Structure 1
Amino acid sequence: MAKAAAYRLPTDRPHVMGILNVTPDSFSDGGRHAVAETAIAHAKAMIAQGADILDVGGESTRPGSDPVSLDVEWSRLDPILDKVIALGTPVSIDTYKAEIARRACAAGAVIVNDVWGLQKDPAMADTVAEAGVHVVMMHNRPQADAGLDILADIDRFFETSMQLAERAGIAKDKQILDPGFGFGKTIDQNFIVLNRFETLKKHGLPLLAGASRKRMIGAVLQAETADRLYGSMAVHMTAMLKGASIVRAHDVGPHADCVRMLEATLLERNPT
């Protein structure tokens, strides 16, 4: 656990979290990296393109996906996790199951990315605290409700997640919030969240934005999943300008370029 204890999320600039799905049914890249050799090669490519963090997932968490057992999820992760961690870039485990998180952190993962914000598995908060790792606490709902005040709902959810983290002993500087673009929200609600993204800073924690290739982009651009790169970059650049510390993306290289241009602009320095 020494590596987890030593890791601190840098605050000098937004960071790019590259997505590594080892699943057959993820909405964007399901099945593409399910073979260990392919997954490792993709991880290396993302690092070369500028990934600051690799987010590894063994179960699709897209809305409407079928849940898988702990054993199935781990069987997808086990052949590749040690090898990805050995590449030296900080690794996040994308899971809402405490036992998967425990195993991944024991292997060297330094972030748990929980799409249910510590509220799905009652053992998750204690597991994260014991491992001494960072945690991404994402807002989620079982289904969208068009009549809901989505920002108020996110605030309530975050308060519950932060209380669970505090009671378990997760240090404040290891907590990260994610409003959950595409999860339990209508298209309009996703854009309300984006337009008010800066208001989420009131919770006093780093913010993650993860809209890569999502339906909210396809709805505006009338573009299929594979053709949503530019829309993803537009959403993420907006979120970074409004305070996002991390953007979670399939296309690492273009997003790393966005970060460099944003950094140069905000520091008013010559990028050359």
Structure 2
Amino acid sequence: MSTLRGLPEWGRCAVMGVVNVTPDSFSDGGRWFDTTAAVKRGLDLVADGADLVDVGGESTRPGASRVDEDEELRRVVPVVRGLAAEGVTVSVDTMRARVAEQAVEAGAVLVNDVSGGLADPAMIGVVATAGVPFVVMHWRGFSESMNSRAVYGDVVTEVIDELRARLDAVVDGGVDPECVVLDPGLGFAKEARHDLALVAHIRDFDALGRPLLVAASRKRFLGHVLAKDGTPPRARERDAATAAISAIAAHEGAWAVRVHEVRATADAVRVARAVGAAR
């Protein structure tokens, strides 16, 4: 497993728990909108086995509208500060440079940008100056329009090529290449068949030479797989399927998986590690 500056060495696929400080997340919108509730949720995720906690204040579900910057700051920074004060390894999920900067000042040790630095031109400079790990996701546009961009000839090759271009861009912008984590962007400008193909080819991303974050938790493609009579289960009923993807990702060498419910995935990555060690 790769080691990243400022982060612990877990010796296996890490588990990133999600705290959505939003009223409109596709998965659990509104449940952790209050700062106190969000901090407690993060601590509960750690108790369940999360290695780090990803705090976000803007929904990126398909069709979601953007929240304004001041509101995102109001949602995110107190939660980051509260969790960091408790010794939690915190990442911030944001597309805005100012939010990333203030979150790092509040104790975040990783920036997770679903736009890969495309949404805010200042993001790359902020991350480079902070010297923290940076998750660069495959992204083709904001939530309002991303479904229309799910057009691929060969999804695996195209996502790898587009991620390579973003990796080059962030490094050219001053980010230490050893700080970059890549994310194939499951569910972002992807149909179910695209997501499944990317999961099936996780090892192909080794060609990029950087750790990989796999964020499949509760996403639409799992609903598609589990649908009965054409009706997918609700997001919160996809946690067993999420743990299955976590086990696959860990077995295939992913650096981390990002999930809403941690316990089953924490077990899954540990089993994957034990099986790998027994080879």
Give the C-alpha shift of residue 85 in structure 1: 1.2
> Could you tell me which amino acid in structure 1 is paired with residue 272 of structure 2?
L
Equivalent residue runs for 1:101-180 within 5 Å: 101-142=100-141, 143=146, 144-180=149-185
What are the ranges of 5 or more consecutive residues in structure 2 without an aligned counterpart? Answer: 228-232
Give the C-alpha shift of residue 11 in structure 1: 6.0
Partner of 2:218: 213
Give the C-alpha shift of residue 205 in structure 1: 0.3
Partner of 2:230: none
Give the C-alpha shift of residue 168 in structure 1: 2.3
| Aligned mates of 1:152, 1:191 — CA distance in 2 | 14
What are the ranges of 5 or more consecutive residues in structure 1 without an aligned counterpart? Answer: none
Instruction: Check if 1:237 corresponds to 2:236.
Output: no
- TM-score, structure 2 normalization: 0.91
Give the C-alpha shift of residue 117 in structure 1: 0.8
| Aligned mates of 1:145, 1:261 — CA distance in 2 | 34
> Could you tell me which amino acid in structure 1 is paired with residue 93 of structure 2?
D
Pick from 176, 179, 187: which aligns with 1:182?
187
Partner of 2:207: 202
| Aligned mates of 1:210, 1:12 — CA distance in 2 | 19
Identity of aligned residues (%): 39
Give the C-alpha shift of residue 94 in structure 1: 0.1
| Aligned mates of 1:260, 1:8 — CA distance in 2 | 19
Retained in 1: the 8 A contact 2:15–2:258? yes
| Aligned mates of 1:134, 1:63 — CA distance in 2 | 26
| Aligned mates of 1:252, 1:147 — CA distance in 2 | 32
Q: How many aligned residue pairs are there?
A: 265
> Could you tell me which amino acid in structure 1 is paired with residue 173 of structure 2?
A
The residue matched to 1:10 in structure 2 has which SS?
coil
- TM-score, structure 1 normalization: 0.93
Retained in 2: the 8 A contact 1:106–1:131? no
Retained in 2: the 8 A contact 1:11–1:245? no
The residue matched to 2:9 in structure 1 has which SS?
coil
Structure 2 CA distance for partners of 1:267 and 1:134, relative to 1, 3 Å? same
Partner of 1:88: 87
| Aligned mates of 1:43, 1:127 — CA distance in 2 | 25
Give the C-alpha shift of residue 197 in structure 1: 1.2
Instruction: Check if 1:250 corresponds to 2:260.
Output: yes
Q: Deviations over 1:38-92 (max 9, x none)?
A: 1111111111111111000011111211101101111112332211111212111
| Aligned mates of 1:199, 1:6 — CA distance in 2 | 24
| Aligned mates of 2:168, 2:174 — CA distance in 1 | 10
Retained in 2: the 8 A contact 1:237–1:258? yes
